[in-house]
Structure 1
Amino acid sequence: MKASPLKRYAEVRDKYPREVVLLRSVGCSWGRCPFCDYRHDADRNAARCVGFNREILKSVRGSCNGTLQIIDSASFNELPAGTLFDIVETCARAQIRTLVLEQHWSYRDTLRSVRDTFAAFGVACKFIVGLESFDYGFRETVLKKGMGRVLPEEAGRYFQWANLLCGLEGQTLGMIEADIAEGLRRFERIIVNVFVPNSTPFRRDEALVEAFYRSPLFARLRDSPSAEILDIRSPLAPDTLGGIGYPEAAPVQNRESLCPAGNGI
């Protein structure tokens, strides 16, 4: 049976209204995060990639406060040049005034040039880093994020948003609480991705996830305008990012996907 295509466009209407697109890159240059199978959504043929992404971008209408979030199977810088031109054209057509873009930590010194490029077209940029955890040993030894001993305040100087990973075997509730507290101190916004099982050996710790949902921390975060909690498998999670990255035909809850929570960027 042929797999259902992934959902690649959505409107998010709740805490931070925006349109979201899932594009396809030519490949993730880091590509070593062992919990992530998202990077397999790539195409080394740049011309084919450009055509594929162009069709997705046609869905963008500027319908959510002129804000567009672009996700792909790597960093924003790893989209082909033709797609970058198409994004500029999309911003002009749909009157997009804010772009939310994801970059690996290794691209931190390129953020200013990306920001300046879009500013010339009247578009502001916010950048997301896939930090996953402030716990150095867990982040670098287990998750292999390739960020080294970056200080929390240093990450916050470059990026405005951060992805944090929650609910993996090997984490504790204390680790999650510390990560979220630090993230809220250092960033404008955090996205707490509750891990969704995928094709990697990593496992979701259901007892830990349940403890998180029962915690006072979750009660405080649930309606916070500065935090989104993404978990396509649980009705307790307040946010889903419109189901982006999951099969179009699948129900919102209890999905498993090519694209796990925490995308490895």
Structure 2
Amino acid sequence: MDRYNKITEKNPREIVLLKAFPCIWGKCSFCDYIDDNSNDEDEMNKLNEEVLKNITGELGVLEVINSGSCFEIPKGSLEIIKNIVAEKNIHTLWFESHWCYKNRLQEMKDFFGKNVKVKFKIGVETFDNEFRNGYLNKCAKFDSYEEVRKYFESPCLMVGIKGQTREMIKRDIEIVENYFERGTVNVFVNNTTDVKRDDELVKWYCDTYRYLDENPNIEVLYNNTDFGVGD
């Protein structure tokens, strides 16, 4: 599995995929990424240390992802990241977190100190409450994008799922385009779960929103590994 990459086009940064403890929720109906989680802290820290050795700091920005939230990354691995950020003069650090950790984000900012901007992505998937929590079983219970914006700089959307509608996608894209600093759109790819891709909806999305490929603030993943990490 690829766990390090350097992104040089949109939003240049280094990105690492680390191993971490199991996702606090782990029940999203569409997700099988949690298979990368572990309970062996020593093994995780050893692997993560090898991955983190690749970081050069040349772009000044580092994104750290794992199959869950940043609060599940072992403390030993976070200490290594903290040291590398200081040594390599990294000024901006991106993490991802589940909604349930929203009141702990400041803890992570405090851990890395005032000289580093710590920013957060969140897997919203959609701002349609019923589809997000009822079908996708996301357990992210907010009523509006304004609530999300209080805590997170960058929502991640998912498009092209059977049961999703064009109207949902239109609204989601409009929100991310107009009200957030950054955003990611994940085009759904079939995996081992029972949630299925809607190819007709994907085609409509690609025809309608191809212009987002040129938007400097929105990254579109047509495959799960488009950031150069994962399997």
Query: Is the pair's TM-score, using the shorter chain for normalization, greater than 0.5?
Result: yes
- TM-score (normalizing by structure 2): 0.96
1:120-148 CA distance string (max 9 Å, x none): 4x211110111110001100001111112
Query: How many residue pairs align between the two structures?
Result: 231
1:26 Cα offset (Å): 1.2
Any residues of structure 2 matched to 1:26-175 within 5 Å, and which?
26-64=21-59, 66-120=60-114, 122-175=115-168
Partner of 2:186: 193
Mapped to 2, the partners of 1:31 and 1:161 lie a distance apart of 21
Unaligned segments of structure 1, at least 5 residues: 1-5, 234-238, 247-265
- 2-structure distance, mates of 1:19, 1:177: 31
Deviation at 1:184, TM superposition (A): 2.3
Cα offset, 1:117, TM superposition: 2.0
Whether 1:203 and 2:189 are equivalent positions in the alignment is: no
Q: In 2, distance between residues paired with 1:35 and 1:150?
A: 21
* One-letter amino acid matched to 2:102: R
The whole-number CA distance in structure 2 between the counterparts of 1:72 and 1:95 is 23
Cα distance in structure 1, aligned partners of 2:168 and 2:229: 27
Contact 2:142 2:148 in 1 (8 A): no
SS of 1:91's equivalent?
A: helix
Deviation at 1:149, TM superposition (A): 3.4
In the other structure, the counterpart of 1:244 is 229
Identity among equivalent pairs (%): 38
Query: Aligned partners of 1:223 and 1:51: how far apart in 2?
Result: 39
Give the SS at the match of 1:192: strand
The letter of the residue matching 2:212 is L
The answer for unaligned runs of 5 or more in structure 2 is none
Distance in 2 separating the partners of 1:160 and 1:198: 28
User: How far does the alpha carbon of each residue in 1:20-67 deviate from its partner, in whole angstroms, 9 at most, with x for none?
Assistant: 100000111111101000111011011111111111001111122x10
Instruction: Supply the distance in 2 between the matched residues of 1:129 and 1:152 (Cα, whole angstroms).
Output: 12
Kindly provide the CA deviation profile for residues 151-203 of structure 1, in whole angstroms up to 9, marking residues without a partner as x. 21010010001100011111122211111111223311110011122111111
- Are 2:225 and 1:231 aligned? no
CA-based RMSD of the aligned residues comes to: 1.4
What pairs with 1:248-259 in structure 2 (closer than 5 Å)?
none
